[in-house]
Structure 1
Amino acid sequence: MARPLGAVRLRKANSAVLAVGVALVLFVLLLVISSSTPDFSPARKAAAALHPLSPPTSPFRKSPAGAMLQPPPVARYNLNNVTTTARPLENRENILLLTPMARFNPAYWDNLLRLSYPHELITLGFILPRTREGNLATRELQKRIAHVQTQAPERDRFKSVVVLREDLDPALSPLASQDERERHQLARQKARRAAMAKARNALLVSTLGPSTSWVLWLDADVVETPPALIQDLARHDKPIVVPNCFQRFYNARTQAMDERPYDFNNWIDSDAARELASAMGPDDVLFEGYAEMATYRTLMAYLAKDDDNDDDEGERDLHEEVLLDGVGGAALLVKADVHRDGAMFPAFPFYHLLETEGFAKMAKRLGWEAVGLPNYKVYHYNE
């Protein structure tokens, strides 16, 4: 008999297909249940935010599947209860560690994991450019983050991690080219440093939370620091404190490993620099370290004492302080209140300064001082 038009012959379901379907349903149910109960310690659960719109400095619990999302709670914060002291470890003070990154350096990440400050008190923040190198760096960074936050012991997991992508024109990106010689050319400095300032500001305002006590800026190419970097810098109890950034290299003359200064943006101003600035137009910028504009400033990079001269007072020498008028961003510890007070990284000529050097000037105008530690060293990657 002919089958009526449009009739459909039903076939008996294959048992293997049914088994796969049941397994898939069970997997989805397990995923929903597990995602609603994150594996945090009681201390972390107590600090967890109650809503996704809460500040990003704490993780939040997801609502159960199908549950109606409650309206955001009214959050009240008493910033007078946020301490910023010389003993951050004992006072359980929260650290916001921020890094603008264009390419991923495994040595930077390994050094980050060696920091002895409790990771559950550290929030990490990164901003990366939308370039080919930036895309590669983002993938590598996310691999490391996923491994640490899900597979490492809980003591090694960070409080939370924020990854941002910058929307700057790649041609203006401060990290569009990572060749050291090219990116430090004087002709590129104004656009590069202005773009870097915008990236820093975007990262800062997106991550600074009401419980943050300190902000540590750490360059993505800083590959070696003392494990107690945070505690060592905070013990000075200064609004802004910066160590000396050096670079290890092979000295062909002595045929041995050696070190040399790297960051020349930590300086004490000079009369010559002030005279140069006074003759500049309103949009001109004074850059340090170029023969075309000799400033004769006192550079902290050259104030470091040789290790061979260490004596019984070496510990005090390690923490010797000098007042600074300009700072670099290789490693920079800032009390969060300095940023809350309005000290940012100017992307425009501010007293003929940009970015981190302009930040030091802006902070000083707001009444905050910066100190440098000439004998306390961190090390930059040697290209």
Structure 2
Amino acid sequence: MSALESMLPRVLILTPVKGAARHLPRYTELIEQLDWPADRLSVALLEGDSQDDSFAVAEALLPRLRQRARRAELFQRSFGFNMPAGVPRWAPAFQQMRRAVLARARNHLLFRALDDEDWVLWIDVDVIDYPPDVLRQLLATGFEIVVPNCVQRRGGKTFDANNWAAEGTVTLSDRRGGGAMRLDAVGGTMLLIRADLHRDGLIFPAFRYGVANPRIRRRHPIWGQGEIETEGLGAMAADMGVQCWGLPDLEIIHANE
């Protein structure tokens, strides 16, 4: 590692995994292609509640991740929740429970894995493409919390609709060509956070958070007042005096569901 590379921040990639065996090989390939020194990179995954062989596949891929990073870990924690057969994961009746479990999984992974890193890069396992320099582009903004624009096809509508402003009425695809966008909430498909914010108490609420926050949606059709999981983190960041940002023109690609 060059002297210049040794001055780069340490980054921890965190990924919750559930029923994603088919995505794990591509997930690993993308990390292998990431333009960041191995000695400044760590990776940790948390598998839980899978009904396929996600844990075994992730375990088999660990040696490759350990070649690519200074540290790669795999944890397992089940929460006893699965969507009923034939019900899509966005079904309104299950959203609060599903998002609460995901928030708990993210927090569990964060508390298990975060060590001496300067930044945490959350990447969902079903993100199937992003530029090798995506981390450099996100860090170059200087923002403490920043997301790219997650789409399913290049130039298409924003897929990660949890990245929003104005009570959910404005998303990243609405602001292409206008530079960085202030966000009131963030999604987790790819999310860069300064690690010290997590250490200061910034988490993913597993409950409706921010009832007193003026930025939340007041009449959400599913859980009413307050935000949960990544959107709750956005509200909590605002309460901590930290602005969330999005990059409408930096695209990453999500798998078709």
Cα gap change, 1:379/1:89 in structure 2, threshold over 3 Å: closer, same or farther?
A: farther
Counterpart of 1:326 (choices 181, 185, 192) is 185
> TM-score, normalized by length of structure 2?
0.85
SS in 1 for 2:100: helix
Cα gap change, 1:177/1:340 in structure 2, threshold over 3 Å: closer, same or farther?
A: farther
SS in 2 for 1:140: helix
Partner residue in 1 for 2:57: 140
Q: CA deviation at 1:230?
A: 1.1
Counterpart of 1:358 (choices 219, 223, 232) is 232
Q: Is the 8 A contact 1:244 1:372 kept in 2?
A: yes
Distance 1:269 1:263 in 2: 16
Cα gap change, 1:119/1:193 in structure 2, threshold over 3 Å: closer, same or farther?
A: same
Q: Is the 8 A contact 1:243 1:377 kept in 2?
A: yes
Distance 1:358 1:197 in 2: 9
Cα gap change, 1:178/1:113 in structure 2, threshold over 3 Å: closer, same or farther?
A: farther
Q: Which amino acid aligns with 2:96?
A: K
Distance 1:368 1:208 in 2: 20
Q: Runs ≥4 in structure 1, deviation > 6 angstroms?
A: none
Q: CA deviation at 1:382?
A: 1.4
Q: Is the 8 A contact 1:266 1:301 kept in 2?
A: no
SS in 1 for 2:238: helix
Q: Which amino acid aligns with 2:158?
A: P
Q: Which amino acid aligns with 1:140?
A: V
Q: CA deviation at 1:89?
A: 4.9
Q: Which amino acid aligns with 1:379?
A: I
Q: Percent identity?
A: 31
SS in 1 for 2:227: coil
Partner residue in 1 for 2:141: 236
Within the alignment, does 1:198 sit opposite 2:72 as a pair?
no
Partner residue in 1 for 2:28: 109
Q: CA deviation at 1:130?
A: 3.6
Q: CA deviation at 1:148?
A: 4.8
Q: Which amino acid aligns with 2:201?
A: G
Q: CA deviation at 1:90?
A: 6.3
Unaligned runs of at least 5 residues, structure 1: 1-42, 44-87, 150-155, 250-257, 271-294, 306-316
Q: Is the 8 A contact 1:131 1:170 kept in 2?
A: no
Partner residue in 1 for 2:175: 303
Aligned length: 237
Q: CA deviation at 1:147?
A: 4.1
SS in 2 for 1:98: strand
Q: Which has the higher contact order (CA 8 A, sep 6+)?
A: 2
Q: Which amino acid aligns with 1:110?
A: E
> TM-score, normalized by length of structure 1?
0.58
Unaligned runs of at least 5 residues, structure 2: 211-225
Q: CA deviation at 1:167?
A: 2.7
Distance 2:30 2:84 in 1: 24
Q: Could you give the per-residue CA deviations for residues 243-266 of structure 1, whole angstroms, max 9, x where no partner exists? A: 1000029xxxxxxxx744211111
